[in-house]
Amino acid sequence: MRLSCRLLFTLFLGVCIGVNVSAQSEVNGTTSLSLDAQLDEELRALSIDKTTLAQGKNKYILYCLACHAKDLSGGNGFNLKDGVWVHGNRPSDLFNSVSRGFLAQGMPSFKDILSENDRKQIVAYVMSKREGFDNLTYEVYALDSNDDTSLVGKTPIKTGKLHDNLMDFTIPEIKEFGVVFEGDFYTYNDQPTRFRMGGRAFDLMTLEIDGESVEKLWKKGWNPTWLLKPGKQYIKLTYLSSKNPDYLDTNFLGYVTPEDGSIKYFATTARAQGLMANRTYNIEAKAHPVLQRKKIHKLPAGTISVGLPEKVNFAFDPSKCAINALWVGDFLNIGPNIDRRTGDPSLPLSEFIFFAPNGISPSQGNCEYLGYARNQNIRFNYLLNGIDVSLSANSLEKHRISFIFEIKKLDVDGENKKMTFSLPDIPSLKYLSEDGAIDELGWSFYPKENTSFKLDVLVSKDSS
């Protein structure tokens, strides 16, 4: 039965699913509810187990990435980290979604492709990536006046569930209101994150985490912000509109950010989600290299980034004449940097292999940046200790990038000064050069000895 089903996979998958599902419930026999509850428990435990997550991640990349994206943000398939669950939000629902698939909508059943254990690992991994609220509810209260600052003794005039798990501040619909949003909340385990609300500092917006009220990170000013616990927690946000001037737009923005607030990880309110959705503007190198001079997350101001069609990308800091970042894969999403007032940085579409202050940078002397030329290739021009240098890059094979330093003019005294460049000490990188020496100090050559010097950087395949 199983075997034939596999053989007929492409032709009769739908039928097989039907058979399997009914077979499963026959075997399960007893009430599936308690079994689901058991599965929920098991998956919850797995979702905080490091080894399971590492294995789940690898399998996710192999079997799910194509439709759900590397960061789970979705593509052909749904977003798997937000609060919207069409086929159920319980861990067992996710497991069943993966097992059964949605053939008509384009997702195969994984029951015969992956073992039960594999599916559990993947679901645990997906659960661990969850962002934002779950089982979010609201209560709306009517306040007596602009001076009324308490909900004590009041009963809500409206309550309900928010199925997209985003706080929606348009729900109250009355002038003087109190609103309470509460539900489970997920944020990252591996770094501190903040819960930030947009707009004016509201005395009357408070936050409880796991039943305890939390102090705002700053008392005055705009954007009330609280520090989150890692991972899963229970959040209750209370807001009273009293004492606010009339002009205040109470349809607030809300985001989770890293500790330094430099970027927005995900939205917590419906309005913020709407804005986040329009923040993708990916730049891609097709036939020729592309160049973007934009604010980029983690890189210094003024940095210029280059994407090669071979999907090797680097950045150049004109103030130091240094190659100050390297990444392999898709190039850059400038969306956040060209949105509204342009406060947020562009996001590289894969992880940096190295980034500033690490870099391939001149170890001594001064540099004066002159500009760049763009033809088929891109060439940065600068004076390094008085020597007129041009830097270009190409990638003749995958995971290999060559930086070519051309000496356009020696300095006036024509002295044969050694040039040395620091090389980031990264296990996944290997450096090769026939035009200079590589040692623990970096890469060095004598500019008088040739007109062009090439440095090859090899990126090990697992780092991308």
Partner 1 sequence: MKATLFVSKSLVVSVLFTFYSAFADNSFTAPKGYSIETISLPENTKMNIAGLDVASNGDVYAATRLGEVWVLKGGADISNTTPIWRRFADGLHEVTGLLVDDDSIMVAQKPELTRLVDTNSDDIAEQYLRVVKGWKFHNNYHEYHYGPVKDNEGNYYAALNLAHGGKTSLAMMGSDGGWRGWMYQVNTKGEFVPYASGLRSPAGIGISPSQELFFTDNQGDWIATSKLHYVEKGKFYGHPASLIDHPDYSFDKVHNMTAGDFAALAEPPTVWFPHREVANSPGNPVWDTTDGQFGPFAGQMFIPDYTFSSIFRVMLDKVNGQYQGAAMNFMDGFQSGNIRIQFDDNGQLWVGQTARGWPTRGNKPFGLQKVVWNGEQAFELQNIKLTRAGFSLTFTDTIDETSVVPDAFSIHQWRYRYSKEYGSPKLDEQIIEVTDTVLSEDKKTINISLPLTPNRVLSIAFDGIAANSQQTPSTTELFYTLNQVIH
The residue ranges that bind ligand HEC (CB under 6 A) are 63-64, 66-68, 76-78, 80, 85-87, 94, 97-98, 102, 105-107, 110, 122, 126
Interaction partner, residue 248 (ligand HEC, partner 1, none; CB < 5-8 Å by kind): partner 1
Q: Which stretch binds partner 1 (CB under 8 A): 61-69, 169-177, 180-188, 338-346?
A: 338-346
CB 407 within 8 A of CB 359: no
Residues 6+ apart with CB under 8 A from 133: 83, 162, 165, 166, 167, 181, 183, 184, 185, 186, 235, 268
Give me the 191-230 binding string for partner 1, x by CB under 8 A, dash otherwise.
----------------------------------------
Interaction partner, residue 63 (partner 1, ligand HEC, none; CB < 5-8 Å by kind): ligand HEC
The whole-angstrom separation of Cα 59 and Cα 122 is 6
Near partner 1 by CB under 8 A: residue from 108, 172, 300, 442: 300
Q: Is 125 or 403 the residue whose CB approaches ligand HEC more closely?
A: 125
Interaction partner, residue 292 (ligand HEC, partner 1, none; CB < 5-8 Å by kind): partner 1
Residues 6+ apart with CB under 8 A from 71: 81
CB 236 within 8 A of CB 214: no
Near partner 1 by CB under 8 A: residue from 211, 371, 414, 427: 371
Starting at the earlier edge strand, list the strands of the sheet with 266-267. Answer: 225-227, 193-197, 254-258, 266-267
Near partner 1 by CB under 8 A: residue from 91, 318, 348, 436: 318
Measure CA 295 to chain center. Answer: 17
Interaction partner, residue 122 (ligand HEC, partner 1, none; CB < 5-8 Å by kind): ligand HEC
Interaction partner, residue 288 (ligand HEC, partner 1, none; CB < 5-8 Å by kind): none
The whole-angstrom separation of Cα 251 and Cα 420 is 56
Interaction partner, residue 370 (partner 1, ligand HEC, none; CB < 5-8 Å by kind): partner 1
Near partner 1 by CB under 8 A: residue from 3, 287, 301, 412: 301
With contacts defined by CB under 8 A, how many residues of the chain interact with partner 1? 27
Please report, for residues 184, 194, 201, 235, the alpha-carbon distance to residue 347 in angstroms, rounded to integers and kept in the order given.
28, 19, 29, 29
Query: Is there binding between residue 277 and partner 1 (CB under 8 A)?
Result: no
Task: End-to-end CA distance of the chain: give it in Å, rounded.
Answer: 40
Interaction partner, residue 264 (ligand HEC, partner 1, none; CB < 5-8 Å by kind): none
Query: Is there binding between residue 255 and partner 1 (CB under 8 A)?
Result: no
Write down the residue that tokens 């039928």 correspond to. Answer: 15
The whole-angstrom separation of Cα 445 and Cα 437 is 6
- We find the least distance from the C-beta atom of residue 303 to partner 1, in angstroms, to be 9
Return the structure tokens found at 229: 């616990």
- We find the least distance from the C-beta atom of residue 300 to partner 1, in angstroms, to be 8
Interaction partner, residue 66 (ligand HEC, partner 1, none; CB < 5-8 Å by kind): ligand HEC
Q: Is 16 or 407 the residue whose CB approaches ligand HEC more closely?
A: 16
- We find the least distance from the C-beta atom of residue 133 to partner 1, in angstroms, to be 28
Write down the H helix ranges in 343-391: none
Q: Is 264 or 295 the residue whose CB approaches partner 1 more closely?
A: 295
Residues in the chain: 464
CB 142 within 8 A of CB 240: no
Interaction partner, residue 286 (partner 1, ligand HEC, none; CB < 5-8 Å by kind): none
Return the structure tokens found at 201: 């500092």
449 residue type, one letter = E
CB 306 within 8 A of CB 326: no
- We find the least distance from the C-beta atom of residue 420 to ligand HEC, in angstroms, to be 48
The whole-angstrom separation of Cα 168 and Cα 270 is 5
433 residue type, one letter = S
Interaction partner, residue 83 (partner 1, ligand HEC, none; CB < 5-8 Å by kind): none
Query: Is there binding between residue 369 and partner 1 (CB under 8 A)?
Result: yes
Residues 6+ apart with CB under 8 A from 236: 180, 181, 182, 207, 208, 211
- Contact residues: partner 1, CB under 8 A: 245, 247-248, 290-295, 300-302, 318, 338, 340-343, 345, 368-375
